[in-house]
Amino acid sequence: MRLHRVRRSMVAAAGVTCMAAALLTGCGSDDGGSEGGVTKLTFAASTLGDPGRGPLLTKWLEEFNKSQNKIQVAPAAVPYPTFGQTVLTQMGSGKGPDLIRFDMPEFESAADAGLIAPLDELVDVSKYDLIKQPDQFMVHNGQRHGIIFEASNYAMFYNADLIKKPPTTYEEFVKTAKSLTKGDTYGLAFRQTEAEEAGVWQDIFNYVYGFGGAWSDGQKLTINSPANLKGLQAFKDLYDAKVIPRGTDAATFRRMFAEGKVGMELNNGGYVTATRGQNADLNFNVAPIPFPVRKQGAILAPIVINEASPAKEAAATFIKWTLEPDNQVKLQEILGASSVATVTKRSPEQLKETPFLTVFDDLTETSLPQIVQGFEAKTPDIRKIVVQNVIAALQGTVDLKTALDRAQQQATQQVG
Q: What is the pLDDT of residues 24-35, one digit of tens each?
A: 555 543 344 667
Looking at the DSSP bridge assignments, the partners of residue 39 are 34, 71
Is 83:13 a contact under the CB 8 Å cutoff?
Answer: no
Give the pLDDT score at 52: 81
Q: What is the pLDDT of residues 171-229, one digit of tens each?
A: 999 999 999 999 999 999 999 999 999 999 999 999 999 999 999 999 999 999 999 99
Whole-angstrom distance, CA of residue 140 vs CA of residue 144: 7
Whether the pLDDT of residue 19 is over 50: the answer is no
Whether the pLDDT of residue 38 is over 50: the answer is yes
Q: What is the pLDDT of residues 353-383, one digit of tens each?
A: 999 999 998 998 899 999 999 999 899 999 9
Q: What is the pLDDT of residues 65-76, one digit of tens each?
A: 999 999 999 999
Q: Which of the residue ranges 25-29, 112-116, 128-132, 144-148 would you say has the lowest mean pLDDT?
A: 25-29
Q: How much is the average pLDDT of 41-70?
A: 94
Q: What is the pLDDT of residues 384-399, one digit of tens each?
A: 999 999 999 999 999 9
Give the pLDDT score at 105: 87
Q: Which residue has the higher pLDDT, 81 or 152?
A: 152
DSSP, collapsed to helix, strand or coil, labels residue 265 as strand
Name residue 156's amino acid.
M
Is 267:50 a contact under the CB 8 Å cutoff?
Answer: no
Whole-angstrom distance, CA of residue 401 vs CA of residue 407: 10
Q: Which of the residue ranges 2-11, 22-31, 101-110, 353-362 would you say has the lowest mean pLDDT?
A: 2-11
Q: Which of the residue ranges 22-36, 126-140, 155-169 would you say has the lowest mean pLDDT?
A: 22-36
Domains and CATH numbers, the chain: 18-151+298-369 (3.40.190.10), 154-296+373-415 (3.40.190.10)
Q: What is the pLDDT of residues 241-288, one digit of tens each?
A: 999 999 999 999 999 999 999 999 999 998 898 899 899 999 999 999
pTM score, whole prediction: 0.79
